Amino acid sequence: MKKVLLIEDDDIVRENTAEILELANYQVETAKNGRIGIEKAKSFLPDIILCDIMMPELDGYGVLQIHSREPIISRIPFIFITAKTEHSDVRKGMNLGADDYILKPFQESELLSAIESRLKRREVFENKKINSSEYQSKSIDDLLTPEKLISYPKDYTIYCEGNNSKYLYLILKGEVKTYKITSDGKELITGIFKDGDYFGYSSFFIKSLHSEYAVCLSNSNIYKILKDEVIELIEGNHLYAFDFIERLSNNLKEFKEQLLHMAYGSVRKKTATTLLNLAKKSKIENEIKVSRSDLASITGIAKETLIRTLTDFKEEKLISTSRNVVKIINADKLKKIL
């Protein structure tokens, strides 16, 4: 039998509400003011607390503040029952941590529905907490089984725009580019990914279709992981969840900066920024292996314009170039280009 603590100073409301709850098969304890209510909460340890706001000795806001600071009762769902209807009153209660707000006068069904809803949420949370304990020691490494490691040849299209998004990809060794096709048929590269990078997550947390293409720039060994497995791992291992979200956030930040430079930067600034960003991901320090076509697409300029800009940088002794390779000689001066 679930236990309910009712804190209410009005004798008639307290008795009538307690009767409703007992008829609904709840074990009920009552308190006529906030101070008594706090003491009973600690001894009775109810499954849920119902509390009025306007009370002598200690009002409902005070009860909630003490409730949130006491470890033994802080996780117990807390519902205000009150005649105060001002929006500011509701907001104050919710900001203090109330789980719900029932206005007087209320229907019997409304009261019971609110209680059942909060109790079910708590039960689901506790079950998840218990079930997730077995995942606490797990990490992404536990999902990286040999059968999920796939070898893709250079120029292989891993997925296309419009394909179902069921997998997350992690590169063990190799290089992958993702790109979109613009309305005028041009290729816009949205990312270059190398060893240790995730990709394919633009549609990761929602059931939707891929919005871009992914192609191997070299022979690549890539883990293909069902996203449902990753979501289960994230839900069970909060430490991994933070690490995973941070990785994705960094990638999205880089992409946003790339778009800003493409939109507003000069050709020299765009090219310098792209080279510096790619150099950060390079396996060999300050050396970038990428075709001129792909480099132009990433930078957001025409190939001919890129080649002229690279020639200028070479003459200024900022870079050196060879076939599909750009080596940065003076990164500090590249950073200062406007």
140-236 sits in which CATH class? Answer: mainly beta
The pLDDT of residue 69 is: 85
The pLDDT of residue 157 is: 94
The pLDDT of residue 322 is: 87
Cβ-defined contacts of 287-296 (< 8 Å, 24+) = 287/325, 287/326, 287/327, 287/328, 288/325, 288/326, 288/327, 288/328, 289/175, 289/324, 289/325, 290/192, 290/217, 290/324, 290/326, 291/324, 292/324, 294/177, 294/189, 294/192, 294/217, 295/326
Strand 213-216 and strand 157-159: pairing?
antiparallel
What b/e sequence results for 242-278 when a residue is b if at least 16 CB atoms lie within 10 Å of its CB, and e otherwise? Answer: eebeeeeeebeeeeeebeebbeebebeebbbbbbbbb
Note whether 262 and 164 are within 8 A (CB): no
Report the run of H or E that residue 198 belongs to, with start and end. strand 198-199
Instruction: Going from the first residue of the chain to its last (338 residues), give the mean pLDDT of each consecutive group of 10, the final group possibly shorter.
Output: 94 94 95 95 95 90 90 89 71 75 88 89 64 55 86 93 84 90 80 85 64 91 87 67 61 55 66 85 80 81 86 90 89 82
* Spatial separation of the C-alpha atoms in residues 321 and 192, rounded to whole Å: 20
Q: Is the pTM of this model over 0.75?
A: no
Tokens read off for 280:
């950060």
Crossing angle of the two packed helices 108-132 and 227-236, in degrees rounded to 10: 100
Q: Which CATH architecture has domain 3-134?
A: 3-Layer(aba) Sandwich (3.40)
Enter the CATH code of domain 265-335.
Answer: 1.10.10.10
The pLDDT of residue 264 is: 46
The pLDDT of residue 278 is: 83
284 C-beta neighbours (distance < 10 Å), count:
10
The pLDDT of residue 47 is: 94
**Per-domain residue ranges for the chain?**
3-134, 140-236, 265-335
The pLDDT of residue 238 is: 60
The pLDDT of residue 88 is: 67
